[in-house]
Structure 1
Amino acid sequence: MPELLDLRASSRAGEVRVRLGNGRTLRVGTELCRALGLAPGEVHPGVVAQLEREDLRLRTRERALRLLALRPRSRAELERRLRRAADASVAAEVLSALEREGLVDDRRFAEQWVRTRRTVRLLGTFRLRAELLRKGVPREIVEAALASAPADEDAVAAELARLRLPRYRHLPADKAARRLAGYLARRGFGAGAVLRALRAAGLAAPDGR
C-alpha cells in the first residue's frame, strides 16, 4: 500500500503539502484534505490517485492565472495552452471554475478585443471576425461583440487610405490602387468600403470600376 509520510502547511492559502513514501510532494486543497481525513500512514491507491489529480488541478489553475495575468484570453485559447500539461478533463474543470468566478468570460473578451482593435489598430469587421474565430470564440458571441461596437467603416477606410497613400506616390496610379486596395482588404474592410476609399483618395478601382 502507498504510504503518506506527512502533511505540512503550505505558503499558498487554502493548500497543504502532502509527502508520499515514493518521494513525491503533492499540493492538496485543505477542503479535500479534511474530506479525506488524511493522516500519516498507509493510504489506499485510490486516495493517492485523488491527491495526484488535485495536485494537477491546482497547478493547472495556477498556470491559467499566470496566462491571464499576461493578457486577456478566450476560453479556447486557455484550453489549448493548458492541455499541453494537463488532461482534457482537468483543464475543463479548471476553466469552468474560472468562468464561474468571472475570470474567464468570452463575451467580455470579445467585446474588449473589438473595441481595442477598432480604435487602436483601425481594423475592419472582416479582420476582427476572423481573429476572434481563430481564438475559438463562438460565432454568436463574435457577432454580438461586433454589433456592440459599430463603426463607420467607410470613414475609417478612407482615413487609412489617406495615411497610406503617400507610400505609393512613386507608383503608377493603377499599381498604387492595387497596393492600397490590398492593404485595406488585409485590414478587414469589405469590397464596398475599399472601393469608396480609393475614390476618396482620387484613385480608380484596380479593375476600372
Structure 2
Amino acid sequence: MTTQERCNLLIKWFEANMPAPQSELHYHSPYELLVAVVLSAQCTDKRVNIVTKSFFEKFPTIEKLANTTQEEVLEEIRSISYPNNKAKHLVAMARQVIEDFHGEIPANAETLQLLQGVGRKTANVVASIIYNQPVMAVDTHVFRIAERLGLTENSKSPFETEKVLTELFPPELIPKAHHWLILHGRYVCVARKPKCDQCGISPWCRFFQEHKNN
C-alpha cells in the first residue's frame, strides 16, 4: 500500500465517521480564536475555555485588549501555562493588529506570523478555521498520529510533517484533516497507551500492523 492509498482510506473513514470536526476551543470571532490559540500553547483546551470566558468579558474586542496593560492581562490568565510571556504577547499582538491591520485579524497564514507571539502552528490554525485556507497546523498530536499511521516516515520536525500532509490531503480537506488528526490523537491514539481496540482506522495503521502480535 502506498502512502497516498493509505491516506485515501483514512479520508474515506473520517468522512463517514467524523464528517464535521470542530475545534474544541470556544470562540465567536477571529479575534477570540486568535487569543484562544495563543493561550492554548502547552495548555489544554479545557483550561483555555475556562479562562477565556472571563477574559472576553473583560476584553471583548481587540481594541480593548490593545488599550490595556500586560499586568491586567496577566491577572486574567494566571492559571494558563507561561502566563507572563503570553500576557506580553497578547497585548503586543493586539496593538500590532490595530496599528498595522486597521483592527482586522489578517487572513493570510504568513501575515499572521508577523504578529508577536504567533508562530507557524498558531497562524495555520487561525487561517484554516476562520478563513478555510489549505494550511495544515501540526501540533504534538498531529505530529505523533501522522507518524504512527504511516503518513510520514521518520519525520524530523513539525514543518516536515506539515509539508508531507499538505501534499497527501486534497487542499479542500486540509482544514478538516487537521481536526481529524488532532481529535483522534487526543481521544483514541493517545501518547502512552493508544486505544487500538477502539480504533476504526487500525486496519490501515502502520503502528497497529507492526504491534498487533506483540
Same fold (TM over 0.5): no
More strand by share: 1
In the superposition, the TM-score normalised over structure 1's length comes to 0.24
Select the structure with the greater relative contact order (CA < 8 A; seq sep ≥ 6).
Answer: 2
TM-score by length of 2: 0.24
